[in-house]
Amino acid sequence: MITFRVSSSVYAYATYLVLLVYFLWPGRFASLYDYIEGENIYDQLIRKTTKNISLMRNGLRCDYSEVIEENLSLYRSPFTEDIINNNVRLGGEYYPEDCLPSFSTAIIVPYRQRERQLNQFLIYMHNYLRRQRIHYRIFVIEQYDPKPFNRAKLFNIGALIAMGLDYPCLVLHDVDLMPMNLGHLYACSRKPRHMCSSLDVFRYNLPYRGLFGGAVAIESSVFLNINGMSNMFSGWGGEDDDLYARLQDKQIEICRFSPTYSQYSMLKHRKETPNKDRVAFLKNGKLRYHTDGLNSLVYKQVGFKLHNLFTHVLVET
């Protein structure tokens, strides 16, 4: 009988190949998930605007069928390089003047010390959003103090400001994410929506079905109902999972659009310091949903300015 000896180096090489296949193989991701097909997107959107838009009586309603059906890929030059035909209003607000928009959306961006990314974001997003013919305004909520970055708290601050201005729809948006397909309307759907389920850094797959961050569309009324986000997650990680758990606690389901509408690109960025308490906060989060959030929000506003491309809110947390 012939026997073969396999060296330890061969075993090590084989193990390396197995691990490589595991991490690179798309099937390991939660790529199979329920989503809304392109032809059903418009019917799932909530047609609601701010009062000043609702009172406008001149003109016809904007038509969104072509934008959704064509679903153009826009993340390219010249749209990423400079504002094209700049007609954005002071404070980063826009609405079309040749038709009445059906949607009013506040885009809330938490921010600190990412000037280059913010510039890229504002240029591209204004080129992108104006082509959707919606009413929108971009709010940049900047943390001014040196404490660990509190992304969720900044979202809460921006949400309260936007709701005070009568915006019925909130998009909670990271500054490093760029939507690639024009057909993904920045409007709220009947269920809170995870918008960036097809992200390039995840090879356009969804890592896990409970992922609910990056770019999220949620009605103001629903955000109020769940008491917003937790204010306790300073540093990186946990706040998005806590948000998802708050929705589950209220038995509120989420939705996603088809992957062909949900492709996003992530800009390169430095990682924030992880929150060492994030796991513990998530475990006992249910005890705090009613006491930790919008109703416990404490901050100091040190600046409020209407820039050409955004509304800038400077805060100490």
CA–CA separation, 100 vs 55, rounded Å?
10
For the residues 116-131, what does the mean pLDDT come to? 98
Closest CA to 234 of 289, 292, 274: 274
- Who's near 285: CB < 8 A, 6+ residues apart? 230, 242, 245, 246
> For residue 28, what pLDDT is reported?
44
> For residue 152, what pLDDT is reported?
97
More confident residue, 115 or 276: 115
CA–CA separation, 130 vs 42, rounded Å?
18
> For residue 30, what pLDDT is reported?
54
Residue 189: inside a domain: yes
Would you report the helix, strand and coil content of the chain in percent, each value rounded to 5?
A: 30, 20, 45
Residue 105 structural domain: 33-316
Looking up residue 305, the CATH number of its domain turns out to be 3.90.550.10
What is the rounded (10 degree) CA torsion for 215, 221, 226, 232? 60
Residue 232: inside a domain: yes
Residue 50: inside a domain: yes
Q: In this predicted model, what pLDDT tens digit does every residue of 201-227 receive, in sequence order?
A: 999 999 999 999 999 999 999 999 999
Q: 146 near 112, Cβ under 8 Å?
A: no
Residue 27: inside a domain: no
Residue 22: inside a domain: no
> For residue 212, what pLDDT is reported?
96
For the residues 8-25, what does the mean pLDDT come to? 55
> For residue 207, what pLDDT is reported?
92
The pTM (predicted TM-score) of the whole model is: 0.89
Q: In this predicted model, what pLDDT tens digit does every residue of 185-206 receive, in sequence order?
A: 999 999 999 999 999 999 999 9
Residue 93: inside a domain: yes
Residue 110: inside a domain: yes
Residue 295: inside a domain: yes
Residue 269 pLDDT level (bands cut at 50, 70, 90): confident
Number of domains in the chain: 1
Lowest mean pLDDT, pick from 26-40, 236-250, 286-300 = 26-40
Closest CA to 85 of 117, 120, 131, 118: 131
Q: Is the dihedral of CA 24, 27, 28, 33 positive or negative?
A: positive
Burial class (CB in 10 A: 0-12, 13-18, 19+), 200: middle
Q: In this predicted model, what pLDDT tens digit does every residue of 59-100 receive, in sequence order?
A: 799 999 999 999 999 999 999 999 999 999 999 999 999 999
